[in-house]
Structure 1
Amino acid sequence: MTGRPGNSGDVLVERRGDATWITLNRPDRRNAYDPAMAEAVAAALDGASRSRAVVITGVPGSFCAGGALTGLSRPDVTAMRGLYRASLRLFDAVRNCPRPVIAAVGGAAAGGGNELVVACDLAIAAESATFGQTGPRVGSSPVTGATNVMGVQIGEKRAKEMAMLCRRYSAAQALELGLVNAVVPDAELEPTVESWIAELAQLSPRYLEITKISSNVWWNAARDSFSSGLGMLVQSIGSPDMAEGAQAFLDKRRPRFPGPDA
């Protein structure tokens, strides 16, 4: 694989036959993305129109832990705005890519990583994969997919359970919920994704694009919700809840949030 220029290998982009494979390559932080990483993935998606399909995956051991939390205990407002905007740019790029985008999930899809699965058109998980939102646990809220579009995919009550309780779900549970299309043994993840790509390659790219863009109706309807939710998150930057949630995550301890009247 080869890294895109200027990304220091954080995002690896490779054309394999009919598909473009985009691999998140920051195992030291479980493939959590910063604004530069998110922009690199979005740019790769923008440039993949000549492929029959696109795959987003992570280096072995993790899929994506969402936005990088480093520095959130003492956040910089400008930097946080940049991270929020980069997240939305990334998810929009998945939805606006004219080709089917497949999430190949090995390891943990957490927080924004789980929302990345929501944004993708199809998702195939290894048996070892896990899924879940982390927002209220780390002083944030999953407003770019999990509080809106995920309800269309798995049902409102289940989506609220995932977004509010911050539980972790196995690949088998994710399949039962409807969050992923298939679960396979870890060693069969890439071969299975390749077989789905081969099926897609036999179909009309023109009419697959029409099918995809038409299916964005719920995403488009929720787009104002994304923007307003991010606006609220911006206004909460530096709040005691954000500082405590982020520091507890970095310290690997249970957060001690102030009460509702604090």
Structure 2
Amino acid sequence: MAAVDVENRGPVVWIRIDRPDRRNAYDLDMARAMTAAVEDAAEADAVVLTGSGGSFCAGGALDRLDDPDPAELRALFTASLRLVNAIRSCPRPVIAAVDGAAAGGGNELVVACDFAIATRRSTFGQTGPRVGSAGVLGATNLLAVQIGEKRAKEMAMLCRRYTADQALAFGLVNEVVEDGALEEAVARWLGGIHRLSPRYLEIAKISSNQWWHQSADNMNSGLGMLLQAIGSEDMREGARAFLEKRAPEFRGGRSAPAPHEGAEQ
């Protein structure tokens, strides 16, 4: 199986991210493959985006950020923007089928999809400032429309993790099902889609992209700032800490102030 497996199940295109060894974090070739698969699905009834090996997606791969190649990272960040734009501009409904962690850019893929169904064991959240980055492709803009500004800032800036039930309560996902029941639930949603007019579903989807289009300039400027920060010490330290499985020291090793008693971590 390729790192991105594309399967036509009748009128539905299933796109499966298959790098479980790194929690399905995607590289440049994988981002391009997913984008092409979404764009090629214009004649399908629907698209399902999912992961393998007990994870949904951990976003862009971090294994090279401790010693980044600026041209390579520019290409990956730009390809990530093209991927989320492809999901939004696809004329067919795109469903995120989440089983496991949706983190960082993977969480932003959930934001970009039209619908999201998750197993109970799934988790959601951003990783940006924790690993020397920022979620500018959905988490810092459109997410506020979906779950509210204060909660979106909490997710994007503080990098907390949320359960599937919390994500459902926020409005980030449409349904939570028991572990092992994901494909059955997706099939039920697809059954509803199959009974609807593809032409008018497309009109409804493209019309509903108002807030996505309102966020376009913000995403482009955010991407520009990320590109300017390539190679910064915070990026390098965040990547080193992630790879070494330790807490990052963004402030030269100075201890962070102790949290107030009872503050949520």
Match of 2:181 in 1: 188
Q: Write the distance in 2 (CA, Å) between the matches of 1:172 and 1:246.
A: 30
Whole-Å separation in 1 of the counterparts to 2:82 and 2:22: 21
Pairwise CA distance, 1:17:
2.4
CA-to-partner distance for each residue in 1:12-70, whole Å, 9 max, x for gaps?
11111231100000111110011110110110011112211100000131000000001
Alignment of structure 1 residues 1-262 onto 2, 5 Å: 9-258=2-251
Alpha carbons 1:72, 1:246 under 8 Å: kept: yes
Distance 1:28 1:140 in 2: 22
| Amino acid of the structure 2 residue aligned with 1:172 | D
* One-letter amino acid matched to 2:86: A
After superposing on structure 2, the runs of 4+ consecutive aligned residues of structure 1 that deviate more than 6 Å are: none
Which letter maps to 1:122? Answer: F
- CA drift at 1:241: 0.6
Query: Is contact 1:23-1:59 (8 Å) kept?
Result: yes
Q: Which residue of 1 aligns with 2:255?
A: none
**In structure 2, distance between residues paired with 1:32 and 1:60:** 12
Provide the rounded CA distance (Å) in 2 between the counterparts of 1:48 and 1:15.
9
Residue 186 of structure 1 deviates from its aligned partner by 1.4
User: Aligned-residue CA RMSD in angstroms?
Assistant: 0.8
AA of the residue aligned to 1:27: P
How many pairs were matched up?
A: 252
Q: Deviations over 1:210-234 (max 9, x none)?
A: 0000011101111111111011111
Secondary structure in structure 2 of the residue aligned to 1:50: coil
Question: Structure 2: how far apart are the matches of 1:220 and 1:25?
Answer: 30
CA shift, 1:187, in A, is: 1.3
Conservation of the 8 A alpha-carbon contact between 1:39 and 1:86: yes
AA partner of residue 221 (structure 1): Q
- Give the C-alpha shift of residue 128 in structure 1: 0.7
8 A contact 1:118–1:150 mirrored in 2: yes
Q: Which amino acid aligns with 1:143?
A: V
Give the TM-score normalised by the residue count of structure 1: 0.95
Task: Give the 3-state SS of the residue equivalent to 2:66 in structure 1.
Answer: coil
User: Which amino acid counterpart does residue 223 of structure 2 have in structure 1?
Assistant: L
CA contact (8 A) 1:18 1:197 kept: no
Between the aligned partners of 1:179 and 1:241, the Cα distance in structure 2 is 29
| DSSP-derived class of the 1:67 partner | coil
2:192 maps to amino acid: E
Task: Name the CA distance, whole Å, in 2 between partners of 1:141 and 1:178.
Answer: 22
Q: Secondary structure at the match of 1:51?
A: coil
Question: Within 2, Cα distance between the matches of 1:191 and 1:16?
Answer: 14
Counterpart residue identity of residue 108, structure 2? E
Q: Which runs of 5+ in 2 are unaligned?
A: 253-265
Length-normalised TM-score, structure 2: 0.94
Q: Please tell me the residue identity of whatever aligns with 1:223.
A: A
